[in-house]
Amino acid sequence: MNGLILTLLLSSSITESSAFRLSERAPSFDVLGQSSKRQSAGFESDTNGTEFLWTIEDTYDSSNFFDQFTFFDQGDPTHGQVNFLNQTAAFANGLAYVASDNTIVMKGDNTTWLASGAIRDSVRVQSIKAYNTSLIILDLNSAPWGCGVWPAFWTCGPDWPEYGEIDILEGVHDNEHNQITWHTSPGCNLTPSSNYTGTLSGNLDCDTAVDDNSGCAIIDWSRASYGNYFNSQGGGVYAMKWDDQGISVWSFYRSAVPVDITSGGSPDPSGWGLPAAQLSPTGCDPLKFFMNQSIIFDITFCGDWAGNSYATTTCPGTCANQIMDPANFVNASWSINSLKVYSKHVITGTTNGARHSLDGALGPTHFALAMLCIVAFALTV
Ligand SMILES: *[C@@H]1O[C@H](CO)[C@@H](O)[C@H](O)[C@H]1NC(C)=O
Ligand SMILES: *[C@@H]1O[C@H](CO)[C@@H](O)[C@H](O)[C@H]1NC(C)=O
Ligand SMILES: *[C@@H]1O[C@H](CO)[C@@H](O)[C@H](O)[C@H]1NC(C)=O
Ligand SMILES: *[C@@H]1O[C@H](CO)[C@@H](O)[C@H](O)[C@H]1NC(C)=O
Ligand SMILES: *[C@@H]1O[C@H](CO)[C@@H](O)[C@H](O)[C@H]1NC(C)=O
Ligand SMILES: *[C@@H]1O[C@H](CO)[C@@H](O)[C@H](O)[C@H]1NC(C)=O
Ligand SMILES: *[C@@H]1O[C@H](CO)[C@@H](O)[C@H](O)[C@H]1NC(C)=O
């Protein structure tokens, strides 16, 4: 019964979305280097032509975030001058909490003066659940930055580097452009192409054994993709899509977030314009080099990247001195609205006919999703 209604809803939404796509104007780019806001409510296709929707698998927000992430309290593998606190200590010291406006806050200590050579308290958390292909969407008001500060929002598989690492949001000091990086076992390479808007940064080889684990990286084109300028726009959204078509990353400052992300329906990355960065299957099998990815947030200080690059920046003094004064860490803070993970839901049937049905169980969630697709379309006309 639900199935019949759903079939009808999907039939009408697909016809309408196709019509919408035909009239969709070509992407334009604004002064911050991001494609303009646009709307989309269609289906995506796999390389073999199979159509699918991205449906919500997990929502992490103020109601469950700290139940679903564990605190890593070991030494920093990237040699940061940091003391990662366990959950009890992080909560007790106010470095991890849900704020009164329901944002999730994780931060470095910005109240303690340190002796020379001492390490600064901070947090690193990891999702209990691991994912195999996914569309991950992070909505945040602000991300950490500052001289000597090195934050990252990333995913990592077991037995590193065997099952890969994807750095979605990462930077140091007062950078303005996000760096997207992949770290893998031997045999995975970035393919230079015009299918992303960012610029290559060094290695094409993602092998961790090459060039001191620099990985293969792409710098986001947008000035508002990292740091002060991203935060001053009210933050925004980072999206990472990982499937058989490769791994793509987009950043959107607040006013450029696509409506299909904010509407709560099924996000459609095919309508978002070119990603900032992409690891194409041409040079790297995304299903072989990446598996069981957990999601991680951390803030470290100095260390392999922020420490070694410090002298090349306009930041004052040395990283070792910078880290002593708590006033230097007032912006070393995550303020997160939500983190959503979507998985593929294959649609069977043909695209030009009236007959569509969803593969698998037709629960209330899927019914609601189909409704939202239509609502999202209705808003565009
Ligand atoms: C198409 O590719 C997807 C992803 O690799 C796979 O899950 C699906 O089974 C394939 N469909 C067909 C008809 O081969
Ligand atoms: C958490 O860290 C504090 C401070 O280092 C320590 O005293 C406490 O035993 C730790 N708790 C657990 C559960 O490890
Ligand atoms: C770039 O996109 C085109 C069109 O989708 C595709 O044919 C080509 O394989 C892509 N190139 C790479 C390196 O992924
Ligand atoms: C991910 O896929 C691999 C290969 O198909 C499989 O061995 C593994 O168990 C899967 N992991 C999860 C979390 O489903
Ligand atoms: C991946 O996750 C699956 C499901 O939890 C598990 O069975 C498998 O052992 C994991 N693979 C590795 C390499 O950890
Ligand atoms: C913190 O951010 C503000 C802008 O919101 C900036 O003026 C200030 O210089 C930053 N402080 C540090 C220590 O980075
Ligand atoms: C520490 O940072 C928070 C933001 O995370 C800010 O509200 C607070 O005022 C800062 N404390 C000091 C002493 O600067």
Report pLDDT digits (tens) over 161-176.
999 999 999 999 999 9
98 half-sphere exposure, CB direction, 13 A CA radius: 11
pLDDT at 48: 80
Determine the distance separating the centroid of ligand 2 and the alpha carbon of 85, expressed in angstroms.
8
User: Would you put residue 350 in left (φ > 0), alpha (ψ -120 to 50) or beta?
Assistant: beta
Please tell me the predicted confidence (pLDDT) of residue 42.
56
Class of domain 63-346: mainly beta
The confidence score (pLDDT) of residue 130 equals 98
Give, for ligand 7, the residue of 330, 333, 335 to mutate: max count of ligand atoms closer than 8 Å to Cβ. 330
Separation of CA 232 and ligand 3 centre (Å)? 34
Catalytic residue annotation: 165, 170
Q: Which residue's C-alpha comes closest to atom 14 of ligand 1?
A: 48
Low-confidence ranges of the chain (pLDDT < 70): 1-42, 349-381
Nearest alpha carbon, ligand 4 atom 7: 291
Tell me what pLDDT residue 109 has: 98
Closest-approaching ligand to the CA atom of 330: 7
CA distance 378 to 16: 9
Mutate to test the pocket of ligand 2, among 72, 88, 91, 109 (most ligand atoms within 8 A of CB): 88
pLDDT for the residue numbered 345:
92
User: Which residues, including other chains, have CB under 8 Å from residue 136's CB and lie 6 or more apart?
Assistant: 155, 168, 239, 240, 242, 295, 339, 340, 341, 342
Cα(52) to ligand 2 centroid in Å equals 46
343 CB near ligand 4 (under 6 Å): no
Residue 263: what pLDDT?
92
Question: Could you tell me the CA-to-CA distances from 167 to 93, 157, 180, 294, 297 in Å, in that order?
Answer: 28, 12, 5, 12, 10
CA of 131 to the centre of ligand 2 (A): 29
| Binding-site residues, ligand 1, Cβ < 6 A | 46, 48, 50, 244
pTM: 0.85
